[in-house]
Amino acid sequence: MAILIAFVLQALHIALVFAAAPLVVGVIRSVKARLVGRAGPSVLQPYRDLLRLVRKRTVVAENASAVFLLAPMAAFAATAAAAALVPSFALGMISAPIADLLVVAGLLTIARVAQALAGMDVGTAFGGIGASREMSFAAFAEPALLLVIFTLVLLAGTTNLDVVAGLLRDGSLGLRVSLGLVLVAALAVAAAENGRIPVDNPATHLELTMVHEAMVLEYSGPDLAVIEATAALRLTLWLTLIAAVFIPFGIAVPEASALGWLTGLGAWVGKILALAVALAVFETSIAKMRVFRVPEFLGIAVLLGLLAAVFLFVSTGFA
């Protein structure tokens, strides 16, 4: 019975995250448009865009290899697998035992590597520039992410996401300065990983400032739809991850009743909406950085992560 419930929760979680991903992008775009005084498209526009792209014909460059053709689906599959592991509204899903934070980070690296290789496959300047910058930024984001994980492990004793979220939800770990510092670091990493302002501009049309978009310039039709869906899914995954770890209130425990799951669902929707609106407000209020300022930005995240760990050592005499 427990396994069955875990299975149902898992299926529900996957369906919800997949269905919500384009909506999250739509909400952010719509709020951003309102904030700068435009009417903006409907929040459902990303769904229509995906459907339109899927029904189009694909044009592929003459010298594209199998890497170019397989990369979008590989990136999507890796991101989807990672998204399946991050708990959204309920803990204790069937994937809970394998939901390891390092594995989630690794799956996102698979997606990044696949897209970077695809960017280099046709041999255009833009694809190469995007791949190079993407991999360089990732090199700076990774240490910050690992220090976030380091601090969480100090608190929870494991890299298993389900256990970490459960302990933080119980509040047994208390409210700590370190968690606040780590939250800032995690937000910086999330901005870099998703190509959001101030690291990259997802809506740019100026090629020289592109990072994420530059890698996928050669794609069209259903392949592009898969790439857009992957980006939306990755953003939702990061918001869900931040919600599960840093705003863990309301998430349903494995032995919860139907009411508990409904509360968890409501809490998740509320948290994601709030984070999406906050992201839109943040993106509207600041400018994109110069490319070579990004390492400094992520370097600050690394220092915050280090500071959080040291704070924890000093304050608890952790041993």
Partner 1 sequence: MLALVAVLLLALGAAATIFRRAPAVLGVSAALSASGAAAALASLIAGGPTLALALPIGLPSGLMAPDGMTLALDPLSAMFLLILFVAAAFCAVYAIDQHEAEDRRALAGFPAFVGAMALALLAADAFTLVFGFELMSAVSWLLVLARHEDADSRSAGIFYVGMALFGGLCLVPAFAVLAHAGGAHAGLLDLRFSAMRAAPPEGWRAALVLALVLLGAGSKAGLVPLHPWLPLAHPAAPSHVSALMSGAMTKVGLYVIVRVLFDLCGPAQPLWWGIPLIAAGAASALIGALRATADGDIKSVLACSTIENVGLIAVGLGVALVARGADLPALAALALCAALLHALGHGVFKPLMFLCVGSVAHGAGTRSLARLGGLIHRMPVTAGCAILGAACLAGLPVFAGFAGEWLLFQAVLAGPRIGGLALQTLFAALAAVLALSVALAAAAAVRLIGVAFLGRPRGPRAAVADEAGPRARAAMIGLSGLAVLLGLLPGPAIWLLEPALRGLSGAGMAGRAGWLAISPTQESFGYAPAAIALLVALAAAGGMLALRRLAARGIALGRERGPAWANGFAAPPAWLPFGDSVTQYGGASFSEPLQRTLGRTLLRGGDPAMHWLMRPLLAARGAISRAADAMQVLTIRRILTVMFAVLVLFLAVIAAVEM
Q: Distance between CA atoms of 240 and 18, rounded to whole angstroms? A: 12
| Nearest CA among 48, 51, 19 for reference residue 226 | 51
Q: Does residue 129 belong to the site contacting partner 1 (CB under 8 A)?
A: yes
Residue with token string 């991101």: 79
Q: Does residue 116 belong to the site contacting partner 1 (CB under 8 A)?
A: yes
Binding-residue pattern over the window 195 to 234 for partner 1, x denoting contact by CB under 8 A: ------------x---------xx--xx--xx--------
| Minimum CB distance to partner 1 smaller for 44 or for 262 | 44
| Nearest CA among 88, 172, 148, 79 for reference residue 298 | 148
Q: Does residue 159 belong to the site contacting partner 1 (CB under 8 A)?
A: yes
Q: Does residue 100 belong to the site contacting partner 1 (CB under 8 A)?
A: yes
Q: Does residue 301 belong to the site contacting partner 1 (CB under 8 A)?
A: no
Q: How many residues bind partner 1 (CB under 8 A)?
A: 96
Are residues 167 and 173 in contact, defined by beta-carbon separation less than 8 angstroms?
A: yes
Residue 73 CB neighbours (<10 A): 15
HSE, CB side, 13 Å, CA atoms: give it for residue 134.
30
Q: Does residue 69 belong to the site contacting partner 1 (CB under 8 A)?
A: yes
Q: Does residue 62 belong to the site contacting partner 1 (CB under 8 A)?
A: yes
The stretch near partner 1 (CB under 8 A) out of 133-141, 190-198, 243-251, 264-272 is 133-141
CB of 50 to partner 1, least distance (A): 9
CB of 5 to partner 1, least distance (A): 18
Among 6, 21, 84, 265, binds partner 1 (CB under 8 A): 84
Q: Distance between CA atoms of 253 and 257, rounded to whole angstroms? A: 9
Q: What does the block give as tokens for 155?
A: 């608190």
Give the burial class of 119: count Cβ atoms within 10 A of its Cβ; 0-12 exposed, 13-18 middle, 19 or more buried. buried
| Minimum CB distance to partner 1 smaller for 165 or for 267 | 165
